[in-house]
Amino acid sequence: MNTNIKQAEIDISDQYEKMRGEKVNVSYGDKQALFDVDVSIAANKVTALIGPSGCGKSTFLRCLNRMNDTIDICKVTGTITLDNEDIYAPSVDVVELRARVGMVFQKPNPFPKSIFENVAYGPRIHGLANSKADLEEMVVTSLQKAGLFSEVKDRMNEPGTGLSGGQQQRLCIARAIAVQPDVILMDEPCSALDPIATATIETLIDELREKYTIVIVTHSMQQAARVSQNTAFFHLGELVEFGTTDQIFTAPIDQRTQNYITGRIG
Amino acid sequence: MSNSVADTSTASSVTKKRDLNLKKRYAAERRFRAMGIGAIAIGLFFLAALLFTVVSKGYTAFWQTSIALEITFDEGVIDSAKKRVEDPNILLMANYPRLARNALQSQLGLEKPTKPILKQLDGMISNGVRVQLREMLLSDPTLMGKTQKVWVLAEANIDSAFKGQIDLSVAEKNRKVSDAQIGWIDDLNSKGLIAQKFNTGLFFNGASSRPEMAGMGAAIIGSFYMMLIVLIQALPIGVAASVYLEEFAPKNRWTDLIEVNINNLAAVPSIVYGLLGLALFINIAHLPRSASLVGGLVLTLITLPTIIIATRAALRAVPPSIRSAALGVGASKMQMVSHHVLPLAAPGILTGTIIGLAQALGETAPLLLIGMVAFVADFPLTPLDPATALPVQIFMWANEAERAFVERTSGAIIVLLMFLAVMNIAAIILRKRFERRW
Ligand SMILES: Nc1ncnc2c1ncn2[C@@H]1O[C@H](COP(=O)(O)OP(=O)(O)OP(=O)(O)O)[C@@H](O)[C@H]1O
Ligand SMILES: [Mg+2]
């Protein structure tokens, strides 16, 4: 099994490595959720994390911006680096890390504030804008990048929670972009959306890839195949196979990967 | 063809036969509904009974009988030796009730009354007339020798008689109002010189052993100070404690223990807090007895668990997704709490606080222990002055034997209930106002 991963790594060795997990072990209390996971996240690529429910995809994703810190019983060991710096080192400030590694959640979770405030919140707390006009421009660009601006430009002061599910999710993406992160983590961002909204967001992800590194958890094989360049397949807390999306979907090496993508486990 | 027809007929006969127990289910539902309505009816009945007894006994307390007198500020009575310029005490000590009695006597056309008659005349007018006339003369010395129409309070029993609360069929010696006095009341009434006026003294006067002059002014101020002290202490302490426990503290055995203890504290009988306050604030810290400061401190202790429990519930009701969202864009924990969690929890915290305050406003037993049953005639100017509280005032009046105090007790209960109602309505309005509907 180890050899499989090695081989996969060779396939992506030409890509700049934005983040890297090495021997990542995570346990919730006595229950271990991840076993020695090694993953390399290439810059300006979309990396998809796939696998059956409960295999630890969200757990791994949360390690990448230390959202696991907020869970009392969660213990993370191993190294995870961002631009070759250990993000779990004591010198690293979580707040700064999360400004560099943004997150979009499974269920759209806009703040119960206006659309403008939702997007402006991140830049405001990080002091990214020098003036009011500056801030407004940031909000507009972020909404444009998230493909939401034309729909909400007349109702910036209306509550973000009043938008449709797909619009809310794009608002959350705009909120994440506004902080100008390097990496955006997305945990099943389309699971609550209809096919049309899903398609909008998939297009969006493809566009965002130019500026950002994206890690996405998804249950849809088609989605992984459509939007991602690299794919990691998790099973029961282990990373079974990791490689380019083409390779994983056309010539999987491990039998379990084969079974999963053809729908025999999961 | 024929086969399919046969099939449908069997199917429908099966449907007919199916017994879904509907009758029983609906009957159970009806029974439950009837029980619920019954329970509410019982509750409403007792509420109505309570309000009826209190209001029917107490509404008369808001009116007080006054008598109009043509008072002559007779120098011969006040300062017969004309020494008031040298000795200002003369004006303070003068026999003002005599002025009132003289006025009443001439108004009733009584000439050369006997001693018992004079005594009964004195008994018509409240002793409060002494202060009333003295204040008039002191503020306007030119009144000396002049005659002026003044409304003075009638004595409590006269008040009761005028309100029709005294049974006149009882033998004269067994009641507090004599036949002569009844006659005078009727006489004054026919001349329009006796009337019921709105009882402002009930709200502004301090304690008095004479019911017609007794008011809950000192109690209202005492209660106000205590509510203020409770608010400025219990709210910040309670919110800080809850935020720490809910958002920052690790979940371990110690925090569990603290949580259990806070919940238990809310159930500790309030009189125990009174004992604690007596030991801690009065015997050890040597704060003054009967002071609203001590009362406020004790009530703070009583209110804290309520506020903490309500605040924690309000914090827990804020969806975790909001917290993740804030942390996800890089907010610090403090920013997450102050920008998102607290504003969303504010309506719940507010409601809990007002309910805690209302609870504190009605608390009586602990205040008895720290000496707030004092007879306080003067307004407490600071929270360190002796004061009483509204419920304590009710308790004290309820222990008085005189008929006029019964009426005042109920009147004070009405006032207390109104304060509580106002606070609860405020809680509802504030919650509606701050509640986020998006
Ligand atoms: N907060 C938590 N406390 C305890 N155990 C947890 C917690 N979160 C996840 N786990 C456990 O860790 C394992 C991996 O969970 P995780 O949420 O990462 O799975 P997942 O791959 O994201 O699944 P899904 O596709 O259903 O979202 C599961 O067995 C789960 O029970
Ligand atoms: Mg998940």
Q: Taking Cα atoms as reference points, which of A219, A263, A222 lies closest to residue A51? A: A219
Q: In whole angstroms, what separates CA B279 from the centre of its chain? A: 27
- Are B330 and A125 inside 8 Å of each other by CB? yes
- Are A96 and B330 inside 8 Å of each other by CB? yes
Q: In whole angstroms, what separates CA B370 from the centre of its chain? A: 19
Residue A3 has pLDDT above 80, yes or no: no
Tens-place pLDDT, residues A75-90: 999 999 999 999 999 9
pLDDT band at residue B15 under the 50/70/90 scheme: low
- Report the relative pairing of strands A230-235 and A213-217 from DSSP bridges: unpaired
**Count of alpha carbons within 13 angstroms of residue B238, beta-carbon side:** 33
Residue appearing with tokens 């707390």 = A125
Q: What are the backbone angles phi and psi of residue B172, rounded to the nearest 5°?
A: -55, -40
Residue nearest to atom 6 of ligand 1 (CA): A28
**Mean pLDDT value across residues A252-266:** 84
- Are B326 and A179 inside 8 Å of each other by CB? no
Residue A12 has pLDDT above 60, yes or no: no
Q: Is the model more confident about B285 or about A11?
A: B285
Chain A positions touching B339 (Cβ under 8 A) are 121, 125
Percent of chain B with pLDDT over 90: 56
Domains in chain A with CATH codes: 14-109+183-261 (3.40.50.300)
Residue nearest to atom 26 of ligand 1 (CA): A53
How close B437 gets to chain A, by Cα (Å)?
Answer: 9
* pLDDT the model gives residue B11: 52
Tens-place pLDDT, residues B416-432: 999 999 988 988 888 88
Q: At what angle do helices B342-361 and B217-243 cross, to 10 degrees?
A: 150
* Tokens matching residue B358: 């209302």
Residues in contact with A251: Cβ distance below 8 Å, sequence separation at least 6, in sequence order: none
- Are B329 and A110 inside 8 Å of each other by CB? no
Contact by Cβ (8 Å): B416, B329: no
Residue B337 has pLDDT above 50, yes or no: yes
Give the ranges where chain A is alpha helix by DSSP (H). Answer: 2-11, 57-64, 94-100, 115-126, 132-145, 149-152, 165-178, 195-208, 221-227, 245-250, 255-261
pTM for this entry: 0.82
Full DSSP string of B356-425: HHHHHHT--HHHHHTTTT----SPPSSTTSB---HHHHHHHHHT--SHHHHHHHHHHHHHHHHHHHHHHH
Which among A97, A109, A159 is the nearest to B438, CB-wise? A159
* pLDDT the model gives residue A21: 93
Q: In whole angstroms, what separates CA B174 from the centre of its chain? A: 35
**Which residues contact ligand 1 via a Cβ below 6 A?**
A 28, 33, 51, 53-59, 71
Say yes or no: A29 contacts chain B, CB-CB below 8 A: no
Tens-place pLDDT, residues B407-417: 999 999 999 99
Tens-place pLDDT, residues B21-80: 888 889 999 999 999 999 999 999 999 999 999 999 889 999 999 999 999 988 888 888
- Are A112 and B344 inside 8 Å of each other by CB? yes
Residue A6 has pLDDT above 50, yes or no: no
Tens-place pLDDT, residues A101-158: 999 998 999 999 999 999 999 999 999 989 999 999 999 999 998 889 999 999 999 9
Task: Identify the nearest ligand to the CA of A33 by its number.
Answer: 1
Percent of chain A with pLDDT over 70: 94
Which among B250, B325, B330 is the nearest to A126, CB-wise? B330
Give the count of Cβ contacts less than 8 A between chain A and B.
68
3-class SS at A193? Answer: coil
Which residues make up the environment of ion ligand 2, defined by Cβ < 5 Å? A 58
